[in-house]
C-alpha cells in the first residue's frame, strides 16, 4: 500500500488493554490491523499501527481508554475542590442508597478530592438563580494561596445552584487561571449544568482528576501524528481533541461507545433491528442492548463514582480474553477481573505464566495457534498447557476440564451482564440477535446464546476491530442540557421551545467555531421526566410530530413517560402528575462515511475446509473442519461442529448450529 494522502482516507483507532486496533477506510475498502498495546505510552501502539498500514495522513478519529483507566486505577491528579461553604463534605457523604442491599461490608470508594483538599468559600446563589451573597474574594485569595502551597495538579469548582447562575464559578475560574496558569481547572456549570449537588460535584471532580493525564496524552499523540484528531465520547459521537482535553469525563466510555455504534450501524445495514452487542476484548466485556435504537443514560456509575453526562447505556464486567483464572480463598475457580493485559499477557504469549481465558480457548482448540492474527503471531500452546495443568492439579481435574471450567465461569459472568441490560430493563433477550465482537466475542457466542435462549448470532465482517470501525464512522455530536423543574401547564410548549431554541443557537455557534458546516446539522430533543415526588427520572424523546398546543404536548409526553415507566419498573400511575426535570439536546452532524461493503455473489463452488483438527466443545473432542472465512461462499451452510478463522477472531460453530454468509459478507449463526 502506498502512503495515504490527507483527506483520502478515514482512520479509526481504538486502544484496548491488550491490542490497539486500527481500521483504514479508503476508496470504499477496509483495511485492518491489530498491534499489541503499549501501556507505558499508549500513543506508541498507535504510531506502530499507522506505520504498519503506511498511513501518513488523513482524518483520524480516536477511541481512548486513558480517562477510564486513570479512574479505575486511581492514578489521576491530586485534585482540589472549591465549593460553597458548608458543602465541603457532599462528595464524601454521597447518597444513602446501596448498590447491594444485603452486603453489610460495602466499601465506599475514597473521594477523589481528599478532606484536606476541599475548600469552602462564602457565596450563595438561591434556587431561582439569584445571587444573595457575593463571592468572598479575600477568602478566594487565601484558598488559592493554599492550593499553590500544596501539590495540587488540578482544581474542580462546584457551587450551589451554579447551574442556574454560573457567575461565581466563572469568576473563580478566571482568578485561578490568572494566578496559577499552569494548573488544570474545570467548573461544574460548563461540565454538567444540572441539579443534584452530589452527582454534579462528583462529575466535575472526575473531570479534573483525569484531566491532566488525558490532556498530556492528547498533546503527546497530536504532536506525533501532526494532523487534527477527533475523539469518541461516551454518548456515541466524536468531539475535537481540544474539547476531549478540556472535558475528558465525556470520554470515560469512549472505546465501548464506538463498539456499540459500529454494531448498531452494521446490523441496521443488514436489516436487523434489535441486537444485544457484546464486546469481549482482552480486559473486559461491554454489553449493550439496542431495541431498534442506541440507548443512552445520563446517570452512570464507574468504579463507584457517579457521572452525570450522557452515555450509551453499557454494562461492563471484568471478563476478557486476558482475564486471569485462579483458585480463590474459598477453593473455587474464579476468572477476572484482573487481567494479564498485553505485557506479559496470557501464558501462550510466551512472556508470563498467567492462566487466562485465551489459554483455555487455545487448549480446547477453539483458537488455533498457527491462525492467530492471520498467522502473524505464533502462540505457545505448550506453555499454556503447562500453566493450565498446574491449575488442574490444584482442583484435581484434567487440563481439559480445567479449561472448560474457565470458559463456564467467564460465560456465567457475561450471562449476568446480558440479564442486567435486558431482563432487568424489561426486554426479553429472545427477541434480539446477539452481536459478538472484540477479539474474543465470537468465541463465546454460541454458548451464551444457548444459555439466554437467543436463536440468532450475527457476526459482521471485521468483528475484532468493530470498535475502531464505529469510532471512524461516528457522527460529530455535542450534548446540551438545562434543569427546568417544570410541571406541564398552559405555557409548557412555549417554555420548552424557548429552552431548546437557546441550546440550538449555542450548538450552531459551537460547531461554527470548529469550522464545521452546519447546513446539515440535526437536533434530537429529549426530556428527563418523573412523577412529582420521585427521586429519579426517565429519559424520554421529545415528541417530533406537529404539536398544536401545550395540552397536546402534555398528553403525548405523559403517554410516552408512562409507557417507559411501565416497561422499566413494571407499573405506571396515570393519576399522578408528572414533572419535566431537565431538557436535553443532542446536536448531530451526520457522518458522510458509509460502512464499505463487499457484495458477495453466489458461486457454483463451495468453500472447502483448509484442515480438520480435534476441538473440544464439551468434555470430549470432535474432529472439526476448519474454514477460512473468506473462502465461505454466499448462502453456503457451515454445519457445526466447525471452526471459522479470520485475521481478527475465531468463530466456533457448535454442534446444533449452522452458519451462512449473506450478500454483505456478514455471518449468521442459527440453531438448527
Q: Which three cell numbers stand for residue 258?
A: 464506538
- Structural domain includes residue 585: yes
CA dihedral 217, 222, 224, 225 (to 10 degrees): 130
What confidence tier does 358 reach under pLDDT thresholds 50, 70, 90? Answer: very high
pLDDT tens figures, 495-551: 999 999 999 999 999 999 988 888 999 999 999 999 998 988 999 999 877 787 888
Same domain, 189 and 124: yes
Residue 310 near residue 479 (C-beta atoms within 8 A): yes
Q: Tell me the CA distances in angstroms from 531 to 229, 425, 580, one per residue in order.
A: 43, 19, 9
d(CA 115, CA 480): 32
pLDDT at 76: 93
User: Distance between alpha carbon 171 and the CA centroid of its chain, in Å?
Assistant: 34
Taking CA 380 as the corner, what is the angle to CA 332 and CA 613, rounded to the nearest 5 degrees?
90
Instruction: Please give the average per-residue pLDDT across 638-660, as a whole number.
Output: 95
pLDDT at 331: 83
What confidence tier does 56 reach under pLDDT thresholds 50, 70, 90? Answer: confident
What confidence tier does 8 reach under pLDDT thresholds 50, 70, 90? Answer: low
- Structural domain includes residue 291: yes
More confident residue, 151 or 72: 151
Same domain, 192 and 296: no
Same domain, 300 and 447: yes
Same domain, 648 and 515: no
What confidence tier does 374 reach under pLDDT thresholds 50, 70, 90? Answer: confident
- Structural domain includes residue 232: no
3-state SS track over 131-146: EEECCCHHHHHHHHHH
Provide the 3-class DSSP secondary structure of residue 275: strand
Same domain, 461 and 488: no
What confidence tier does 264 reach under pLDDT thresholds 50, 70, 90? Answer: very high
Same domain, 508 and 657: no
pLDDT at 6: 39
Q: Tell me the CA distances in angstroms from 427 to 277, 561, 671, one per residue in order.
A: 14, 17, 21
Provide the 3-class DSSP secondary structure of residue 267: helix
Provide the 3-class DSSP secondary structure of residue 504: helix
Provide the 3-class DSSP secondary structure of residue 56: coil
Entry field: residues in the chain? 672
- Residues with Cβ within 8 Å of residue 570, at least 6 apart in sequence: 426
Number of domains in the chain: 4
Picking from 155, 189, 215, the residue at the C-terminal end of a domain is 215
Same domain, 528 and 659: no
Q: Tell me the CA distances in angstroms from 466 to 33, 173, 277, 313, 615, one per residue in order.
A: 12, 40, 11, 18, 27
Residue with cell 506453555: 383
State which residues form the domain around 79. 72-215
- Laid out side by side, the sheet with 657-661 consists of 315-317, 285-291, 274-280, 433-437, 456-459, 667-671, 657-661, 638-639
Instruction: Please give the average per-residue pLDDT across 285-312, as a whole number.
Output: 90
State the distance between the two ends of the chain, measured CA to CA, in whole angstroms. 42
pLDDT tens figures, 608-625: 999 999 999 998 999 999
More confident residue, 357 or 330: 357
- Structural domain includes residue 522: yes
Same domain, 629 and 499: no
- Structural domain includes residue 379: no
Instruction: Please give the average per-residue pLDDT across 430-450, as a whole number.
Output: 95
Picking from 441, 472, 503, the residue at the C-terminal end of a domain is 472
Query: Comparing C-alpha atoms, which of 592, 593, 562, 598 is closest to residue 578?
Result: 562
pLDDT at 3 over 50: no
pLDDT at 603 over 90: no
Instruction: Please give the average per-residue pLDDT across 637-665, as a whole number.
Output: 94
Same domain, 198 and 261: no
Q: What is the CATH number of the domain that holds 453?
A: 3.30.420
What residues pair up with 580 in beta bridges, in sequence order? 486, 529
pLDDT tens figures, 562-584: 999 998 888 999 999 999 999 99
d(CA 632, CA 591): 32
d(CA 483, CA 3): 50
Instruction: Please give the average per-residue pLDDT across 446-460, as a whole number.
Output: 96
d(CA 307, CA 203): 5
Residue 124, judged by CB atoms within 10 A of its CB (0-12, 13-18, 19+), counts as middle
pLDDT at 9 over 80: yes
pLDDT at 601: 66
d(CA 15, CA 259): 12
What confidence tier does 604 reach under pLDDT thresholds 50, 70, 90? Answer: low
d(CA 248, CA 241): 9
The neighbour count for residue 508, using CB atoms within 10 Å, is 15
Contacts of residues 383-389 at CB distance under 8 Å and 24 or more positions apart, as own/partner, are: 383/347, 383/348, 383/350, 383/353, 384/346, 384/347, 384/348, 384/355, 384/359, 386/347, 387/347, 387/353, 387/354, 387/355, 387/359, 388/347, 388/355, 388/359, 388/360, 388/363
pTM given for the model: 0.89
pLDDT at 2: 37
Same domain, 436 and 559: no
- What percent of the chain shows pLDDT beyond 70? 98
- Structural domain includes residue 26: no
Residue 365 near residue 621 (C-beta atoms within 8 A): yes
- Structural domain includes residue 227: no
Q: What is the CATH number of the domain that holds 532?
A: 3.30.1490
- Structural domain includes residue 362: no
Mean pLDDT over all residues of the chain?
Answer: 90
d(CA 206, CA 248): 9
d(CA 128, CA 270): 51
Same domain, 298 and 434: yes
Q: Which three cell numbers stand for residue 142?
A: 487565601
pLDDT at 330: 81
pLDDT at 5 over 50: no
- Which helix (H) or strand (E) is 296 found in, with range? strand 296-297
Provide the 3-class DSSP secondary structure of residue 530: strand
Sign of the dihedral defined by the CA atoms of residues 378, 379, 381, 387, in that order: positive
- What percent of the chain shows pLDDT beyond 90? 65
Same domain, 79 and 206: yes
d(CA 502, CA 120): 32
What confidence tier does 113 reach under pLDDT thresholds 50, 70, 90? Answer: very high
Q: Which three cell numbers stand for residue 371?
A: 491462525
Amino acid at each position: 500500500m502506498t502512503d495515504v494522502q490527507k483527506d483520502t482516507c478515514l482512520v479509526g483507532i481504538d486502544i484496548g488493554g491488550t491490542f490497539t486496533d486500527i481500521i483504514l477506510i479508503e476508496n470504499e475498502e477496509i483495511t485492518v490491523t491489530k498491534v499489541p498495546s503499549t501501556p507505558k505510552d499508549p500513543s506508541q501502539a498507535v504510531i506502530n499501527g499507522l506505520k504498519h498500514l503506511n498511513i501518513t495522513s488523513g482524518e483520524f478519529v480516536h477511541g481512548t481508554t486513558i480517562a477510564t483507566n486513570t479512574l479505575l486505577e486511581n492514578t489521576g491528579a491530586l485534585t482540589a475542590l472549591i465549593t460553597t461553604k458548608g458543602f465541603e463534605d457532599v462528595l464524601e457523604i454521597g447518597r444513602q442508597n446501596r448498590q447491594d442491599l444485603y452486603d453489610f461490608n460495602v466499601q465506599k470508594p475514597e473521594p477523589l478530592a481528599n478532606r484536606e483538599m476541599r475548600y469552602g468559600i462564602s457565596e450563595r446563589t438561591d434556587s431561582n438563580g439569584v445571587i444573595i451573597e457575593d463571592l468572598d474574594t479575600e477568602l478566594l485569595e487565601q484558598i488559592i494561596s493554599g492550593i499553590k502551597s500544596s501539590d495540587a495538579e488540578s482544581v474542580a469548582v462546584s457551587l450551589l445552584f451554579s447551574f442556574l447562575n454560573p457567575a461565581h464559578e466563572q469568576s473563580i475560574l478566571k482568578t485561578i487561571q490568572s494566578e496559577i496558569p499552569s494548573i488544570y481547572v474545570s467548573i461544574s456549570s460548563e461540565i454538567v449544568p444540572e441539579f443534584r449537588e452530589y452527582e454534579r460535584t462528583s462529575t466535575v471532580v472526575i473531570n479534573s482528576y483525569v484531566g491532566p493525564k488525558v490532556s498530556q496524552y492528547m498533546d503527546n499523540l497530536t504532536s506525533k501524528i501532526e494532523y487534527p484528531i477527533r475523539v469518541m465520547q461516551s454518548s456515541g459521537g466524536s468531539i475535537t481533541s481540544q474539547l476531549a482535553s478540556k472535558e475528558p469525563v465525556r470520554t470515560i466510555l469512549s472505546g465501548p461507545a464506538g463498539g456499540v455504534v459500529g454494531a448498531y450501524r452494521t446490523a441496521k445495514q443488514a436489516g436487523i433491528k434489535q441486537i444485544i452487542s457484546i464486546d469481549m476484548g482482552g480486559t473486559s466485556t461491554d454489553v449493550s442492548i439496542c431495541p431498534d435504537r442506541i440507548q443512552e443514560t445520563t446517570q452512570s456509575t464507574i468504579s463507584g463514582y457517579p457521572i452525570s453526562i450522557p452515555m450509551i447505556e453499557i454494562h461492563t464486567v471484568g471478563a476478557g480474553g486476558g482475564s486471569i483464572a485462579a483458585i480463590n480463598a474459598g477453593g473455587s475457580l474464579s476468572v477476572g477481573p484482573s487481567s494479564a493485559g498485553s505485557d506479559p499477557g496470557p501464558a501462550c504469549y510466551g512472556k508470563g505464566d498467567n492462566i487466562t481465558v485465551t489459554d483455555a480457548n487455545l487448549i480446547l482448540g477453539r483458537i488455533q495457534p498457527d491462525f492467530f492474527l492471520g498467522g502473524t503471531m505464533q502462540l505457545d500452546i505448550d506453555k499454556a498447557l503447562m500453566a493450565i495443568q498446574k491449575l488442574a492439579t490444584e482442583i484435581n481435574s484434567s487440563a481439559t476440564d480445567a479449561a472448560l471450567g474457565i470458559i463456564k465461569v467467564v460465560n456465567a459472568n457475561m450471562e449476568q451482564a446480558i440479564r442486567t441490560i435486558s431482563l432487568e430493563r424489561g426486554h426479553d433477550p429472545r427477541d434480539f440477535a446477539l452481536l459478538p465482537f472484540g477479539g474474543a466475542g465470537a468465541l463465546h457466542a454460541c454458548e451464551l446464546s444457548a444459555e439466554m435462549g437467543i436463536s440468532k448470532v450475527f457476526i459482521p465482517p471485521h468483528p475484532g476491530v468493530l470498535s475502531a470501525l464505529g469510532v471512524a464512522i461516528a457522527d460529530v455530536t455535542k450534548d446540551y442540557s438545562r434543569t427546568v423543574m417544570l410541571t406541564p401547564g398552559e405555557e409548557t410548549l412555549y417554555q420548552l421551545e424557548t429552552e431548546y431554541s437557546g441550546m440550538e443557537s449555542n450548538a450552531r455557534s459551537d460547531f461554527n467555531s470548529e469550522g464545521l458546516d452546519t447546513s446539515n446539522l440535526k437536533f434530537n430533543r429529549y426530556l428527563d421526566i418523573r412523577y412529582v415526588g420521585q427521586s429519579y427520572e426517565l429519559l424520554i424523546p421529545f415528541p417530533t410530530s406537529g404539536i398544536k398546543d401545550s395540552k397536546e404536548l402534555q398528553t403525548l409526553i405523559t403517554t410516552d413517560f408512562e409507557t417507559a415507566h411501565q416497561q422499566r419498573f413494571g407499573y405506571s400511575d396515570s393519576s399522578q402528575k408528572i414533572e419535566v426535570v431537565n431538557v436535553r439536546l443532542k446536536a448531530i452532524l451526520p457522518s458522510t462515511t458509509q460502512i464499505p461493503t463487499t457484495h458477495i455473489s453466489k458461486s457454483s463452488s463451495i468453500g472447502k475446509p483448509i484442515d480438520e483438527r480435534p476441538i473440544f466443545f464439551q468434555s470430549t473432542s470432535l474432529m472439526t473442519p476448519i474454514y477460512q472465512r473468506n473462502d465461505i461462499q454466499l448462502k453456503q451452510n457451515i454445519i457445526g461442529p466447525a471452526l471459522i478463522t479470520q485475521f481478527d477472531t475465531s468463530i466456533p460453530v457448535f454442534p446444533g448450529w449452522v452458519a451462512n454468509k449473506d450478500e454483505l459478507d456478514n455471518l449468521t449463526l442459527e440453531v438448527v
